[in-house]
A and B are shown apart, each in its own frame.
Chain A
Amino acid sequence: MVTTDNQVPLHGLGPRTRLGGLDRGALGAADVAAQSVSAMAPCGAAAASPMLVAAHGGPVVASTAIAFALALVLSWLVRGFARRVPAAGSLYTYAAVGVGPVAGFVTAGALLLGYLGIGMVAVTESSAFALRLASSVGLTAHGWLVAVGALGFAVASGVVLVRGIRLSARVALVTETIAVGLVVVVAGWLLWHGDVRRLHDAVLAPIPDLGHLAGGVAVAMAAFAGFETATVLSVETRAPLRTVPAAIRGSLLLGGPVVMLATLTQAGTLSQTPTDSWFEALAADPGGRMLVPALYLATTLSSFACALAFTTAAARVLLSLAREGVLPAALGHTDLRSKAPTVGIWVCTATIFGVPFTMSACGADPAAACGSLVAGAVCGFLLAYAALAGAMPAMLRRLGEPSRVALVIGPACALVLTAMVAEFWGLTITGPFWIGAVAATAWILLWAAAGWRLRSSRPNAFASIGAHAGTVRSEVWRGYLRSTS
């Protein structure tokens, strides 16, 4: 061990980190970028986001454009962390490294709410569009067939994920590539055949008021949320300090314009009120009708890849929390063959697929369920992003790398996001999707209570929040090891 007095900074350098057991260095840049792009699910987001923004009373194009700009600023902050700290816990580890375990624990709760919530939305969307695809090609879906199909999706998702990150990353990459290709074709066709005057009106639509704009931006953020999930694969990526930040930037620069393009093509039909989506616009045109099944297929695939991506992300957040002793040790188990966190994956799969399935079985309206789930998830994401932005200057100070730019942008971004989540919560609690806001509040309060209890019962575990894949002895200059051996 490297523990001599003249090399105290290397004290604790061992052969493994607390995040050992994962498939270290298995993924390349394309696989990691696929994780972020799949989580953003530009195709699924393109189909659902404009309708949801309009349903919350926000201006569609302006809200989406501002959300994209905000996501770009956030991605700069996330990349600042990812370049310095490889961690499977994503934003919560960054917050813990920057500010401390309390901030890390709260961020973990918000992040799980966001990841699991959007994962559930993806499952709901995937099922809804699979049914529409079946109808569009003349198939009738019986109730039992739908149930079997949903169960099949869940099992397929779980099996792909527990077979290892290499396979699941490739499945996500192929699925999302097909989906994005299809959506670009459809968007291009719609823009070519669309009404330029209506598009012009939609782009220049007056902004109702700041409250609705903030609500619209918050919902539109859901279309970009997940760009940071590449960070959960830091341990499993080759040269993570270089690859993960590049994947985050690349995925946002690829997925963002696709969402913007799709929003613009639908803005012509959506205008100011939630009327119809591009599916109706295509169906109304004899030439475009043949593209409808393709768009349903693209949205189904994209949503399925999104569910896979968020299951991957949530399972690794659980693994990180379990390794720190915060959650039961079983959630930190990794399979020796596949090196996947199998217990965490099955828990997340059961949650992400089980909750929408239960809601559907109880007779919930899919659109209302989606709206409420998105509302809850958006609250989680915005809180986690705000914590990350606020933690940036503290993290840089701790690492001995103060930055004036980060000192301004980080807190400013945190303030904007906190104000936005407060405004959004206020709007949602009085609107039709109030259940989402109530569920999010209940979850955060429960999580905080659990944290309070953990802090008093197991202070060491609580204080250790912030586990990251730091340097191991095989990565340092041999001279340090020789001088002490």
Chain B
Amino acid sequence: MTRALRPDAGSRSALAALSIIEEVAAAGPGITALEITHRLRMSWSSAYRLLAVLLESEYLVRTPDLGGFALGRRIDRLVGIPSTPADRLREAVDAVRAEARFGIHLVLHRPTRRPVLELFDIDPDFPLSDPARVIAEPECSAIGRIVAADARGERPAFSTQRGILVPGHGCLALPIRGADDSLVAVLAASAPSHRVADADTLMTFLTPHARAVALACTTSG
């Protein structure tokens, strides 16, 4: 290779960074920095520096135990994974959860199916106490009350229940409407009763997020 074609230091760093990404992808989540240095025969300092850059730029992330690495969200664009409608909905709901310390659930409304409610994304950290009852008995849950009100032709801004399903806890649900103003989903927050009683504050918090969820619902068709 002539001098002109030989890669310079910057190009070598870029190639080494790509090799690290490739190694993490091949090994699966949890590969450690030491394993990467051994497999790629890199020096510790070079590998740590490149790993730090890849972490900062979100191409890689640390696993929850901090001991290993996994591919980050920016890899989606690199490999061309398309964002599905379900992805967009889940991400919009996760954005609410990241800021809330209580349960956030998204229930889809399918008027043409039985049952009409689909528990699309239930908060894994604060699961519903009785999902079957939420679907079967509309009046016992805030989610069901929104659906029942919609069936009667009413348009409530939100609905609440306190202490029916779990003593000391309650739920506030608000409708997500499509472009044609039909009810497409219900966004619900299950929280201690005192939090649900302060509906104004909870609505101030949820309303901007509900718009983002509505947008995700609309674009997902």
Contacts and interface: CB of A to CB of B under 8 A. Distances in A.
Interface of A: 1, 6-16, 20-21, 23-24, 83-85, 97, 239, 241-242, 334, 336-337, 339, 398-403, 468, 470-480
A12 B73 contact: no
A402 B56 CA distance: 20
B64 A400 contact: no
A476 B28 CA distance: 12
B67 A239 contact: no
A473 B124 CA distance: 12
Given A470-B66, A476-B70, A476-B71, A20 B29 contact: no
16 contacts: A10-B64, A12-B64, A20-B98, A83-B56, A241-B56, A242-B57, A334-B101, A400-B32, A401-B34, A401-B44, A475-B58, A476-B73, A478-B76, A478-B81, A479-B71, A480-B29
How large, as a class, is the contact surface on chain B?
35 or more
B125 A97 contact: no
Given A20-B99, A479-B71, 20 more contacts: A7-B30, A9-B28, A9-B30, A9-B63, A15-B98, A16-B97, A20-B98, A21-B100, A83-B55, A83-B56, A242-B56, A336-B202, A336-B204, A337-B205, A399-B32, A400-B32, A400-B33, A401-B51, A474-B95, A475-B72
Contact of B66 (A13, A15, A23, A84): A84
Contacts of B66: 84-85, 97, 398-399, 468, 470
Given A15-B98, A403-B44, A9 B68 contact: yes
Contacts of A334: 101
B139 interface: no
A16 B33 contact: no
Contacts of B48: 401, 403
Contacts of B112: none
9 closest A-B pairs by beta carbon, nearest first, are A9-B30, A400-B32, A477-B71, A242-B56, A15-B97, A9-B63, A15-B94, A401-B33, A471-B61
B28 A6 contact: yes
Interface of A is mostly: loop
A10 B61 CA distance: 11
A145 B75 CA distance: 61
A403 B46 CA distance: 12
Contact of A476 (B55, B72, B101): B72
Contacts of A8: 30
Contacts of B125: 14-16
Given A20-B98, A399-B67, A477 B201 contact: no
Contact of B64 (A11, A20, A337): A11
A435 B189 CA distance: 51
Interface of B: 28-30, 32-35, 44, 48, 51-52, 55-58, 61-68, 70-73, 75-76, 79, 81, 83, 87, 91, 93-95, 97-101, 123-125, 201-202, 204-205
Nearest to B198: A336
A23 B100 CA distance: 10
A399 B72 contact: no
A83 B93 CA distance: 28
A481 B71 CA distance: 11
A337 B71 CA distance: 33
B197 to A, nearest CB: 13
A398 to B, nearest CB: 7
A241 B205 CA distance: 28
A361 B203 CA distance: 45
Nearest to A323: B101
Nearest to A468: B66
Contacts of A471: 61-64, 70
A480 B27 CA distance: 13
A134 B99 CA distance: 44
A466 to B, nearest CB: 10
Given A14-B124, A242-B56, A403-B44, A473 B98 contact: no
A6 B34 CA distance: 21
B61 A476 contact: yes
A166 to B, nearest CB: 14
A73 to B, nearest CB: 18
Nearest to A242: B56
Contacts of A83: 52, 55-56
Contacts of A468: 66
B62 A470 contact: yes
Given A15-B123, A339-B99, A477 B34 contact: no
A228 to B, nearest CB: 18
A239 B34 contact: no
Contacts of B97: 15-16, 20
Nearest to B195: A336
Nearest to A24: B98
B75 A24 contact: no
A475 B101 contact: no
Contacts of A15: 93-94, 97-98, 123-125
B78 to A, nearest CB: 9
A10 B72 CA distance: 12
A364 B181 CA distance: 68
Given A336-B201, A339-B99, A474 B94 contact: yes
A408 to B, nearest CB: 14
B4 to A, nearest CB: 34
A10 B69 CA distance: 10
A97 B65 CA distance: 10
B56 A474 contact: no
A399 B125 CA distance: 26
A242 B58 CA distance: 10
Contacts of B79: 479
Contact of B67 (A6, A24, A337, A400): A400
B98 A477 contact: no
Contact of A337 (B52, B65, B98, B204): B204
A398 B32 CA distance: 10
A85 B205 CA distance: 29
Contacts of B35: 400
A85 B55 CA distance: 11
B28 A7 contact: yes
